[in-house]
Amino acid sequence: MDLISELRWRGMFHDMMPGTDEHLRTNAPISGYIGFDPTAASLHIGNLATIMLLVHLQRAGHRPLALVGGATGMIGDPSGKSAERNLLDEETLRANQSGIKAQLEKFLDFTEGPTGALVVNNYDWFKDFGFLQFLREVGKHLTVNYMMAKDSVKRRISGNEDTGAEGISYTEFSYQLLQGYDFFHLYKNLGCTLQMGASDQWGNITTGTELIRRMTGGEGKAYALTGQLITKADGTKYGKSETGTVWLDPTMTSPYQFYQFFLNAADADVPRLIRVFTLMSQEEIEALEAEHAQAPHLRVLQKALAKDVTTRVHSAEAYEAALAASQVLFGGGALSSLDEATLLDVFAGVPHMEVPRAQLSELNAVTLLSEATNSVIFPSKGEAKKMIQAGGVSLNREKAGLEQQASEVPLLLDKYMVAQKGKKNYYLIKVV
């Protein structure tokens, strides 16, 4: 597989240094790396786009290196930031690094061999590197003028009108020098000749190629390749849902929420997303697009995207559970099949209310759905009675009756009722 051609048709290619394409084609296998910031316990789907760069690098017959920035994570990259980052302690960073490595192992082949992936941590070579030694051996090779010319630095020095942030600390100013040395260290010790990243990393990456050139007396040659930032059709950043960042860790974003995020992708966005986040061939994707165009309401592209990514990030079992949960809400599946975590996920966006268990025997369906739930479901007993008589109300998917006692409704997990009013209005009642 030709890496550059593959990235181009997938819409993942942004830029590269002259000679990169030839270097990849004539020196296989080469080693290329991407750095990952360990300031959170998990990677997110924005990171997944750069992980896919490493996946394609390995599929093209090269060796991917994933650098977890244990040292640089203590400082913070100013690229794309308007304010100083909070610094984390070493223990937190170590825990985050462990989680990130486990996630990377789901995507890359780490078996030994010339193309086997490797995870490295820059704390390992920075922890014993003295400040004066670093200035003498590394800092002298780059001028302040060169470093200030980078866009990420210029934006911060000129300030930010939206946030009022102004200036950049020496700590963050030094970041590009540290990242540049990472590249030199990997070049010298692991023969790494390529650094990749998102397009906003171009300045940091080229600092590394320049540092390699200068620290080797002009003999060293290294290359840079960047991928497109993933944005929506309207130009806004892709990767956040209404509830926040979409993480790869199932305890931070559940498989159901993860699946729903991709399932709800807009028609204008999904052709690009399926190229970036899956390994489907061009022929497979174009066939799905043709099928989708015939009946967009069936969301063929979104379903294929959500299935593929959920399965690879989580598991086939997690995908099946997420699919079953979706069918419960939208397809009339059995509520009793859901565990508590999934039930709460499925109904996270609906009104929640509580009813004392001791009151159940005193309530019928009418009073339960009006007075006992603070008139959230129905503002009055009269309105509740009218809609129950019309057959428009159900409790745990069974039609509610006027004389039905609340205590007669079989509780889900011995403490929940799902009330449904009409076709689309759901409410979760917890018996406490």
**CB crowding 81-115: b at 16 or more within 10 Å, else e:** beeebeebeeeebeebbebbbebbeebbeeeeeeb
Q: Where are the beta strands (DSSP E) in 206-261?
A: 223-227, 240-241, 244-245
pLDDT of amino acid 77? 52
For residues 73 and 85, what is the distance between their CA atoms, to the nearest angstrom? 10
CB-count burial class (<10 Å; 0-12, 13-18, 19+) for 207: buried
The residues near 334 (Cβ < 8 Å, ≥ 6 apart) are 328, 397
Predicted confidence band of residue 82 (pLDDT cuts 50, 70, 90):
very low
Over residues 4-11, the mean pLDDT reads: 97
Name the residue type at position 226. T
Please write the tens of the pLDDT for every residue from 195-253: 999 998 898 899 999 999 999 999 999 999 999 988 877 777 776 665 678 999 998 88
Peptide bond into 29 cis (omega under 30): yes
Count of alpha carbons within 13 Å of 366, Cβ hemisphere only? 14
Predicted confidence band of residue 159 (pLDDT cuts 50, 70, 90):
low
Please write the tens of the pLDDT for every residue from 331-387: 666 788 888 888 888 887 788 989 999 988 889 999 999 988 888 899 999 999 999
Residue with the larger pLDDT of the pair 75 and 81? 75
The residues near 205 (Cβ < 8 Å, ≥ 6 apart) are 179, 183, 195, 196, 197, 224, 226
Residue 430 has pLDDT above 50, yes or no: yes
Average pLDDT, the chain: 88
Over residues 19-27, the mean pLDDT reads: 95
CATH architecture of the region 3-227: 3-Layer(aba) Sandwich (3.40)
For residues 207 and 147, what is the distance between their CA atoms, to the nearest angstrom? 8
Residue 431 has pLDDT above 80, yes or no: yes
Ranked by mean pLDDT, which of 21-25, 155-159, 250-254 comes out on top? 21-25
Whether 11 and 272 have beta carbons less than 8 Å apart is answered as yes
Over residues 41-56, the mean pLDDT reads: 93
Helix, strand, coil in percent for the chain, rounding step 5: 50, 15, 35
pLDDT of amino acid 244? 75
Whole-prediction pTM: 0.81
Are the folds of 3-227 and 240-346 the same? no
Residue 52 has pLDDT above 90, yes or no: yes
Over residues 142-147, the mean pLDDT reads: 85
CATH architecture of the region 240-346: Orthogonal Bundle (1.10)
For residues 311 and 17, what is the distance between their CA atoms, to the nearest angstrom? 35
pLDDT of amino acid 81? 47
The residues near 44 (Cβ < 8 Å, ≥ 6 apart) are 239, 245, 246, 247, 248
pLDDT of amino acid 243? 60
For residues 409 and 400, what is the distance between their CA atoms, to the nearest angstrom? 9
Quickly count: other Cβ atoms within 10 Å of residue 10's Cβ: 22
For residues 123 and 102, what is the distance between their CA atoms, to the nearest angstrom? 18
Residue 262 has pLDDT above 90, yes or no: yes
For residues 4 and 187, what is the distance between their CA atoms, to the nearest angstrom? 21
The domain limits of the chain are 3-227, 240-346, 352-431
Tokens for 225, please give them.
């390749």
Percentage of the chain exceeding pLDDT 90? 52
Residue 324 has pLDDT above 90, yes or no: no
For residues 135 and 142, what is the distance between their CA atoms, to the nearest angstrom? 10
Tokens for 217, please give them.
């007396």
Q: Give the 3-state secondary structure of residue 311.
A: helix
127-136, 296-305, 345-354, 394-403: least confident range: 345-354
For 352-431, CATH gives 3.10.290.10
Residue with the larger pLDDT of the pair 171 and 85? 171
Over residues 63-80, the mean pLDDT reads: 75
